[in-house]
Structure 1
Amino acid sequence: MRLACVDSGHAPSEAAVLQMIREQSGVEPLGVIKTLYYRPELFGRPFSDELDRAMRGPSDWSAGDRELFAAFTSLLHECHF
């Protein structure tokens, strides 16, 4: 279940980015993109910063290994992005 506000409740600057994505790609942005752009100061930026640290920060695993782990986990959970 996704909240309706994630589909249409964006601030003007974020709504403009989503509209540009629609125009350039010819398709509706994925729900994950809409979620990251909905009130980005509360979720989008902090989540993206943490994700970047997890995927690109110091680790015994290479960035490629971590991308493979993420892709495999998404596959197991039938996540299509």
Structure 2
Amino acid sequence: MRLPEVERGDSFRTRAIIRLVSAVTGVRLPDAARVAFYHSDFVGAALGEWTQLAMRGESSWSVAERELMAAMVATWNSCAFCVGAHSAIAVLGMDAEIVEACRADYRTAPISERLRETLRFLEKQTLDPAHLGADDARTAIAAGVSPGELTDAAAVGALFNIITRYANALDFAIPTGADFDKAARMLLKRGYS
């Protein structure tokens, strides 16, 4: 359901920011940013900080790997907006063929066993969270994932299990591939908060 207040902005200031950013970038401000501006005092700042920390904070995972994790969670949640957005960012730091191979089937993709086991953990976190347990963490750790890396990945998974669901619920508009690419470069440079 598209909310008119999110589309146009809920205040004069927000409407001005939406118009300015869209004019400067030459791209319609993505719905994810529009939602962040909508009643920003309610969740926008907190969600932005969490996203910035999970996706750009200190971690053994590269930015591209974390963006791939977000794209995979989006794939499992059938969120076309987030698949497009986070795949576009991931390919700025890793081979596009690897991203596509992971999205097709991470189990056979040419990635490290460490990343494969982390994606297996995130898949269960996304699709079968009631059965995610200590054994799943032990399996990932046995494959070379450190406890800190697993914590970082679980934060990405938790965050994007929320974001993909509200993106789907609010019927985010799907930009063109070129617009995803422009936005990806901006997000890579500026981050999320």
Normalised to the residue count of structure 2, the TM-score between the two structures is: 0.36
CA distance in 1, matches of 2:55, 2:25: 26
Assess, with a 3 A threshold, how the Cα gap between structure 1 residues 68 and 27 changes in structure 2: closer, same or farther. closer
* Secondary structure in 1 matching 2:49: helix
| Structure 1 range deviating more: 37-46 or 49-58 | 49-58
Q: Does 1:73 align with 2:89?
A: no
- 1:36 alignment partner in structure 2: 36
Structure 2: 5+ residue stretches without partners: 86-193
- The amino acid that maps onto 2:18 is L
CA shift, 1:2, in A, is: 2.2
- Report the equivalent of 1:23: 23
Superposition deviation, residue 49 in structure 1? 0.4
1:54-78 residue CA offsets vs partner (Å, 9 max, x unmatched): 1233444333321121123334522
Distance in structure 2 (CA, Å) of the matches to 1:60 and 1:6: 36
The separation in 2 between residues aligned to 1:73 and 1:62, in whole angstroms, is 17
Q: Distance in 1 between matches of 2:38 and 2:22?
A: 16
- For the Cα contact (< 8 Å) 2:35–2:44, is it kept in 1? yes
Q: Which has the larger radius of gyration?
A: 2
Percent identity of equivalent pairs? 27
2:41 match: secondary structure: coil
What residue is the counterpart of 2:64 in the other structure? 64
Describe the shift of the 1:72–1:4 C-alpha distance in structure 2 as closer, same or farther (beyond 3 A): same
Q: Tell me, yes or no, if structure 1 residue 47 matches structure 2 residue 40.
A: no
TM-score, length-scaled by structure 1: 0.74
What CA deviation, in whole Å up to 9, does each residue of 1:29-51 have, x standing for no partner? 22212111111121211111011
Q: How many residues align?
A: 81
Instruction: Tell me the distance in 2 between the aligned counterparts of 1:9 and 1:67.
Output: 27
Residue equivalent to 1:7: 7
Give RMSD over aligned pairs.
Answer: 2.2
8 Å Cα contact 2:9/2:18 also seen in 1: no
| Pairwise CA distance, 1:9 | 4.0
User: Runs of 5+ in structure 1 lacking a partner?
Assistant: none
